[in-house]
Amino acid sequence: MRYKSILAALLLMMALPALAGSNWQPTDKYSIRFSSSDASGIFKTFNGTLVFDEQNPAASRFTAVIDVASINTGNGLQNKHAKGAEWFDAATYPQIRFTSEKIAKAGNGYQATGTLEMHGVKKQVTIPFTFQRKGNTGTFSGSFSVNRNDYHIGKAGNKVSEAIKVDISVPVVQK
CA distance 97 to 106: 23
| Domain 20-174 grouped into CATH 2.40.128.110 | yes
Helices assigned H by DSSP within the chain: 2-19, 76-83
The answer to whether 166 and 145 are in contact (CB under 8 A) is yes
The pLDDT value given to residue 138: 97
CB atoms inside a 10 Å sphere around CB 157: 8
pLDDT digits (tens, 9 = 90+) for 111-142: 999 999 999 999 999 999 999 999 999 999 99
Percent of the chain with pLDDT over 70: 87
CA distances from 161 to 77, 80, 98 (A): 19, 19, 22
What residues does 99 pair with on adjacent strands? Answer: 63, 115
DSSP 8-state secondary structure symbol assigned to residue 63: E
pLDDT digits (tens, 9 = 90+) for 16-69: 443 346 899 999 999 999 999 888 999 999 999 999 999 999 999 999 999 999
Residues 6+ apart with CB under 8 A from 133: 54
Please state the rounded mean pLDDT for residues 93-100.
98
